[in-house]
Chains A and B, each alone.
Chain A
């Protein structure tokens, strides 16, 4: 039987983390499925477990200056309901899973899962999310894009946990999320896209594109985006195919039981075209 701990506060939790290699469980909606056993049997965890169930102190979302700080243990639905949550994140969360899942799942959980198809990750990459990672001895900050190193691989030490996600409070002219799944809710994405831009008169001041499920991690390329800063919108709109071509080498989807690579690639390009069309 695997051991389980339910710390009463963050300090207790971090102290416990120093002892062993633990499975950290927040909502549990991914962890319980990944470690599933059989009906009426205990969950098949392979490591001792720390539950964040009592860590109310990590359930917050607040704005400090121009940044939004999201506690690691707040549920997706609570983030969705908060007034200070950026629109793009709301657009993403409403399309994730189902209300039941959203009532207990957390962003930190999604991040540590590091699934290439993770919807929330697409939005967080778009916003250059920063993570606060703590151990009992140490606190560090790491960009999400550096934290996720591959398919289900993260830069997290055994005695560490994510305690906060920090995103800037940006002012976009428009932003949206496009989830392409097999049905209209309750589904894992075949691919997904988040786009945002800021215009001043007809000049592009900020443009961001991020793609999910078309590579081992979310695709976001600042080099490509930089090419369009301070350029005329019309320049971009008249040369959409150039933009598509620039992204081509980074779009490397796979075949699986949900879809095939030809479709994912083609639709990815279509979503770029649609994004530019809509500007």
Chain B
């Protein structure tokens, strides 16, 4: 019996390599109309008057008045309008769609629509808190009485998902039923949002995923906005309509990673960290949306890969008049893990300790309490993972050599974890995932809402079922999710797909195996939270996640002493994601995730000026090219988790969250200065180098 991890040829290689795979912009429907969006030209104010031009036959302007149901996009916190009615809260906020058969005329109409604004002064300062959370562990704030306090502040920027395929939908009316096809991560998020906006019955909206050309969280909640607008337009025009963004529009108006400012304070007793006080502020942009969950995950990550007995953790989502921010692989953890990794390193140095030795001494262990007094129930292999990473990279020797020389070379190590699954009680209370397996003679079809956006879900799930049922993978069917056929297994987010949905699918497959003699069989399963997972969202108490994955990243850099440009020389990573359902798939995720995490740390710059994103195309927003990449070595440790299929835990986000602190520390090592924000650009390095030696 082959080990499940043994790689197989991905099931969608053929169609993708040959160019036959259908992405949303490739779909043509005869008679289809094109849609463009009319957007606000101010960051804050009120719409006082609208003047719509006379329209030629077959052209429509679609705005809030055309919405039959609610003018709110259903996300987690419902404060995003489908179309602006009278309030404008960010630059380029959508006001209307214009649709018609010829793009030239649609664009002309967009220009001719006159909006009169009463402009107000926009707020870009982080002073309007719209979500505030706080929790304690142990002594909480009391841990800070009469002890020495060390405090540092850290900052992280926007990050743009920069999927190579821009966002888009195409939709049509079939009788009284609306069908939408799009580049999405969450078919049911989209369906439920459209149902709310149209006020339709459940069977009158159908959502189908087209091949997704990258998503990384950027297509988690944002597509719901486009889908709602498009659905309203289709209802009005009664014709098929395509709404596809070009790159600049996509970069200017879609959700990005929340910028953050994090303050860490350590209470020092007996030369060690006695307690930590953390405050994290994130910029939510103009709407809250799912910012509250991002904030939660960030706060929950504050202890990093370590255990601290006393914690006082608070956070705020700030509203500003900028484009609303949203999901991006890591979802609050990359921000916090950068800060905590740098902080522990900085404090250790202040206390005269070897940072690595100190960090190893406070690593979380099986049986420890998490930041929220939950339990690390499962074995944690970090000490041996660190040892392995050190061995393959020669970390200690290099660190010593680079620390004591002027070579402008450096090496840095980050230690991190990632909670697998939806934060908090999400799985049990909100998602309640359902899966379905259908057997028809020798073929088995997997019916779930999980989306393959490149991470290999189609391959790994077919492999999983084939393996459990002991049948050929060719006999397992998994089509792109279509809400007419698949139950709601939840969104493709939070590193939950294999662990939670795969867990359900594998249990369904095991059931099916018992009844294999039946020619036709339908097995359904619904998520049941293991008894022992208890979490109180209000007080942040208990097990915020059912399982954790762990990682070590080591990055070696060279800094050019004349230009301060950073060259990534090599990386070494060790991950524990339970069990790889396909090793090659996981290694591919590891490379891609680390590339994004490292680039977040030193390369990708996105800023806004007066609410306008300054880097609005792929020329100005810099992501790595093949020339920027270095050899990457990755080792996977098996550490099977009882409730994951074959022991699998989450891995999608784990491989991104450690990249930034690893590269930041490597640069610190090279330039002998301390880094407090990312990206560590040459401009920032120059500033640091000119300051006095640390």
Contacts and interface: CB of A to CB of B under 8 A. Distances in A.
A and B touch in the complex (CB under 8 A): yes
A140 interface: no
Interface string A219-230: 000000000000
A180 B565 contact: yes
Contact of B683 (A40, A41, A263): A263
Interface string B557-574: 000001111010000000
Nearest to A269: B562
Interface string B648-692: 000000000000000000000000000000000011001000000
Given A183-B627, A185-B627, A257-B614, A270 B563 contact: yes
Contacts of A187: 619, 622
Interface string A11-40: 000000000000000000000000000111
A271 interface: yes
Contact of B625 (A185, A260, A273, A274): A185
B504 to A, nearest CB: 40
Given A184-B628, A267-B564, A257 B103 contact: no
Interface residues of A, number: 25
Contacts of B25: 39
A263 B683 CA distance: 6
A188 B619 contact: yes
A274 B627 contact: no
B625 A186 contact: yes
A183 B103 contact: no
B390 interface: no
B234 to A, nearest CB: 20
A260 B107 CA distance: 36
Given A267-B563, A271-B563, A259 B622 contact: no
A266 interface: yes
Contact of B104 (A39, A41, A180, A260): A41
A258 interface: yes
Nearest to A264: B683
A48 interface: no
Nearest to A266: B686
Interface residues of B, number: 27
B120 interface: no
Given A38-B103, A270-B563, A263 B686 contact: yes
Contacts of A40: 103
B564 to A, nearest CB: 7
Contacts of B619: 187-188
B112 interface: no
A61 B284 CA distance: 56
A45 to B, nearest CB: 14
Contacts of B614: 257
B625 A183 contact: yes
A183 B562 contact: no
B409 to A, nearest CB: 17
B682 A263 contact: yes
Contacts of A184: 567, 625, 627-628
A184 B107 CA distance: 38
Contacts of B567: 184
Nearest to A274: B562
Contact of B562 (A185, A186, A273): A273
Nearest to B25: A39
Nearest to B685: A263
B356 to A, nearest CB: 30
Nearest to A271: B562
A267 B562 contact: yes
Interface centre among B562, B615, B620, B622 (most CB of A within 10 A): B562
Interface in A187-227: 187-188
Contacts of A186: 625, 627
Q: What secondary structure prevails in chain B residues at the interface with A?
A: loop
Given A38-B246, A260-B683, A183 B603 contact: yes
Contacts of B337: none
A182 B103 contact: no
A93 to B, nearest CB: 15
Interface in A156-191: 178, 180, 182-188
B624 interface: yes
Nearest to A273: B562
A271 B561 CA distance: 10
B244 interface: yes
B622 A183 contact: yes
Interface string A61-102: 000000000000000000000000000000000000000000
A266 B107 CA distance: 45
A46 to B, nearest CB: 15
A270 B562 contact: yes
B191 to A, nearest CB: 27
B615 A257 contact: yes
Contacts of A270: 562-563
B563 A182 contact: no
Nearest to B616: A257
A156 to B, nearest CB: 26
B563 A183 contact: no
A266 B564 CA distance: 11
A182 B564 CA distance: 11
A266 B690 CA distance: 11
Contacts of B244: 39
B107 A38 contact: yes
A118 B107 CA distance: 33
Interface in B297-333: none
Contacts of B682: 180, 263, 267
A274 B683 CA distance: 18
B625 A39 contact: no
B620 to A, nearest CB: 5
B246 A39 contact: yes
Contacts of B104: 41
B253 to A, nearest CB: 16
A180 B625 contact: no
Contacts of B627: 183-186
Nearest to A272: B562
Nearest to B244: A39
Interface in B13-61: 25
A241 to B, nearest CB: 15
Contacts of A262: 683, 686
Contacts of B615: 257
Nearest to A42: B104
Nearest to B619: A188
A40 B28 CA distance: 13
Contacts of B562: 267, 270-271, 273-274
Nearest to A38: B103
A39 to B, nearest CB: 6
A213 B643 CA distance: 58
A267 B685 CA distance: 12
B474 to A, nearest CB: 38
Nearest to A188: B619
Interface centre among A183, A187, A259 (most CB of B within 10 A): A183
A91 B567 CA distance: 19
A183 B607 CA distance: 18
Closest 10 CB pairs of A and B: A185-B627, A184-B627, A270-B562, A263-B683, A182-B622, A257-B614, A274-B562, A180-B563, A184-B628, A185-B625
28 contacts: A38-B107, A39-B25, A39-B103, A39-B246, A41-B103, A178-B563, A180-B565, A182-B603, A183-B603, A183-B622, A183-B628, A185-B626, A185-B627, A187-B619, A188-B619, A257-B614, A257-B620, A259-B683, A262-B683, A262-B686, A263-B683, A263-B686, A267-B562, A267-B682, A270-B562, A271-B562, A273-B562, A274-B562
Given A180-B563, A185-B627, 6 more contacts: A41-B103, A178-B563, A180-B682, A183-B603, A257-B615, A267-B562
